[in-house]
Amino acid sequence: MKKTRSYQSFIFIVFLLGIITCTPKPYFFRNNYKSANSLLHETKNLQEDIFLKAHLKNGEVYILKDSWEVDTTENKLLGIGISFDYNRNKISEGAQSISLDSVAIFETNKKLGKTESKRIRALAILAGVDVAMGGICLINPKACFGSCPTFYMNEEDDFHFADAEGFSNAIAPSMEYFDIDALNNPPVMDNIFTLTMKNEALETHMVKNIKILAFPRDKDQRIYQSPDNKFFRCENHYFLTGAKGANEDLTDLLKLQDRQERFSLSDPQNLSSKEEIFLTFDNITDPKDLGLLISFRQTLMTTYFIYSAMGYMGDEVGDIFAKLETSSETKKKLENGIRKELGKIDIYVLDETTQKWIFQGGFYETGPIAFNRQILLLNVSAENTSLQLKVVLNKGLWRIDDFALTNIRESEKAIEILPYEVLNDGLTDAVAIAEINADDEYLISMPGSEYKFNFRLPSKGGDYELFLYSKGYYLEWMRENWIKDKDLLKLRQMIENPKRYLRMEAESFKEYERTMERQFWDSRIDTKNFSYYGT
């Protein structure tokens, strides 16, 4: 069952509610006494300030505020206060002298102390957390605001369960590209398939095309996508039998596609430091045409770089983006500089004969939100029933859910399906459907927008493996507080000398990583099982 809040959030709420609800009711602030004798005996040890009311037999009342005393000789109650008639109209004010015989009931009242303290404390704690959170986002807006369009098979899901995120690298019109993401969908029960696209960030999303790539599949088959967007029909699933990092056994973390991810923190000296993970697969019953499966996504490191770059541009962001649009060289440097330095998730296979690691290829997808499920074709001997692999990756950049092997049976071509309907706020949007299906128009999605795309699959009753094709770009909204971060020299360093930039920026990123990474992912919900095939 899907949890809607993290454990920590729940504990926090319980803690605050505990404070609030533990407020005792002030039951004992009022007492009545039928005689002066009992009044004197039962109030003499009280430390609190006591207000005394004398309710007379005729319905009048005397309220003595500051001091009072019982004169037993004169049989009178003396004090300073006010008297009222039975309709509570004021009769007199000042020094009062009341015959004890005329009093029906004496009433004492203690001052209610700190009745609101618990509630105020709870609100103060909440305000403190809110202000701290807002402060962190103000200092590090890179961490708090999402990126690129997010797609959901279940429209009620939030970004923690996004099924895909589109064109994360396309931060300018000239950087527009298409992106294909595996939806890892459950068996299709109907021929209508719905996908919801949300804009959950302070960005303008310019969406050129959305379509579904469908592949008919049998019960024991899956279709996987390679990093170069080829598709392969696969059978069998081999779980890894061992995984080791520098000083840790990662087998349990990396064995299952269960959202229990393996990640590391960045190197405090250099953000482009690499690390290695060693994988072992045993009992491969069919060693022919093996492919390595991986589920992965990024940490917030690249988001940090994108927002940092915009901060460095300051009030010249418009000019620089204009230059980006007209200079292919600058664009190329921006696209390849840091990205090249950070590298991919590189895969090597151990050649048993030469004992050398043979490079096989790498995985790369920008974006910290949706998991990417991809396959890499391995060039290995078709006789080995066990296999050893080495994974080389940038420290602090990747979150890996699992590794597995599968047998590739054949290459596949997709059935491309365009949406036949777009719903905007529950209503059919004829303009949107025309825009999204035209090659020269854009569907413009603003912050908070939600569009529901309906696709008609080729046949009812057949099952399909589905992938999302999205093409477009997005424009990040400049935040006022970024302008003060303007640093064109640093921007230049980032573009021209990313190696040096990644060393120099390590300390600043570490600060950010310590706070926001933990908060972002500690709040994730890890119980939703999205693997529908027992992998």
Which C-beta is closer to other proteins: that of 115 or that of 386?
Answer: 115
Position among 25, 44, 219, 413 found at the interface with other proteins (CB under 8 A): 25
Indicate whether 145 belongs to the interface with other proteins (CB under 8 A).
yes
Q: Which of residues 498-527 bind other proteins (CB under 8 A)?
A: 519-520, 523
| Residue carrying the six token digits 């109650």 | 77
Q: Using CB under 8 A, which of 3, 7, 46, 104 touches other proteins?
A: 104
Q: Does residue 57 contact residue 39 with C-beta atoms inside 8 Å? A: no
Please identify, using beta-carbon distances, which residue of 67 and 386 lies nearer to other proteins. 67
Q: Give CA–CA dist 51/107, Å, rounded.
A: 8
Count other C-beta atoms under 10 Å from residue 472's C-beta.
25
Residue 256: C-alpha distances to residues 214, 221, 352 (Å): 25, 18, 27
The nearest distance, CB 196 to other proteins, in angstroms, is: 12
Kindly determine how many residues on this chain lie close enough to bind other proteins according to the rule CB under 8 A: 66
Q: Which is nearer to other proteins, 51 or 530 (CB)?
A: 51
| Closest to other proteins by CB, 289 or 485 | 485
Strand partners, 237: none
Instruction: Report how far apart, in Å, the C-alpha atoms of 142 and of each of 174, 305, 476, 512 are.
Output: 23, 8, 11, 9
Given 45, 47, 87, 527, the residue binding other proteins (CB under 8 A): 87
The span from the CA of 501 to the CA of 514, in Å, is 20
**Least Å distance between CB 391 and other proteins?**
29
139 forms part of the interface with other proteins (CB under 8 A):
no
Considering only residues 318 to 377 of the shown chain, the ones binding other proteins according to CB under 8 A are: none
With 0-12 CB in 10 A as exposed, 13-18 as middle and 19+ as buried, what is 157?
middle
Choosing from 133, 415, 446, 488, the residue that interacts with other proteins (CB under 8 A) is 133
Window of 25-33, 205-213, 401-409, 505-513 that interacts with other proteins by CB under 8 A:
25-33
Give the range of 21-29, 236-244, 257-265, 313-321 binding other proteins by CB under 8 A: 21-29
Write the burial class of residue 370 (CB in 10 Å: 0-12 exposed, 13-18 middle, 19+ buried). Answer: buried
Whose Cβ is closer to other proteins: residue 2's or residue 88's? 88
- Cα–Cα distance for residue pair 432/209, rounded to 1 Å: 11
6 binds other proteins, rule: CB under 8 A = yes
Q: Which residues of 284-308 are buried (b: 16+ CB within 10 A; e: fewer)?
A: beebebbbbbbbbbbbbbbbbbbbb
Should residue 230 be labelled a site residue for other proteins when binding is judged by CB under 8 A?
A: no
Report in angstroms the alpha-carbon separations of 39 from 64, 102, 104: 14, 15, 12
Which two structure tokens, joined as six digits, stand for 477?
């909204």
Helix (H) or strand (E) holding 80: strand 76-84
What is residue 55's three-state secondary structure? strand
Is position 9 an interface residue for other proteins (rule: CB under 8 A)? yes
Shortest distance (Å) from residue 263 CB to other proteins: 18
Given candidates 70, 100, 144, 207, which one binds other proteins under the rule CB under 8 A? 144
- Return d(Cα 299, Cα 505) in angstroms, integer: 16
Minimum distance from residue 520 beta carbon to other proteins (Å): 7
Of positions 3, 5, 41, 492, contacts other proteins by CB under 8 A:
5
The owner of tokens 């998991």 is: 371
Task: Tell me if 217 sits within 8 A of 414, measured CB to CB.
Answer: no
The single-letter code of the amino acid at 91 is: I
Tell me the closest approach of the beta carbon of residue 51 to other proteins, in angstroms: 3
**405, 284 Cβ separation under 8 angstroms:** yes
Locus of tokens 């299952």: 256
The mark string for 424-453 relative to other proteins (x by CB under 8 A, - otherwise) is: ------------------------x-----
Residues in region 27-66 near other proteins by CB under 8 A: 27, 29-32, 50-51, 53, 55, 57-59, 61, 63, 65
DSSP string, 109-164: EEPPP-TTHHHHHHHHHHHHHHHHHHHHHHH-HHHHS--S-EEESSTT--GGG-SE
151-190: contacts with other proteins (CB under 8 A): 158-160
Contacts with other proteins, 64-83, as mask; x by CB under 8 A: -x------------------
We find the least distance from the C-beta atom of residue 46 to other proteins, in angstroms, to be 13
Least distance (Å) between residue 480 CB and other proteins: 12
Binding site for other proteins (CB under 8 A): 4-6, 9, 12-13, 16-17, 20-21, 23, 25, 27, 29-32, 50-51, 53, 55, 57-59, 61, 63, 65, 84, 86-88, 104-105, 107, 109-112, 115-116, 119, 122-123, 126-127, 129-131, 133-134, 137-138, 141, 143-146, 158-160, 200-201, 448, 519-520, 523
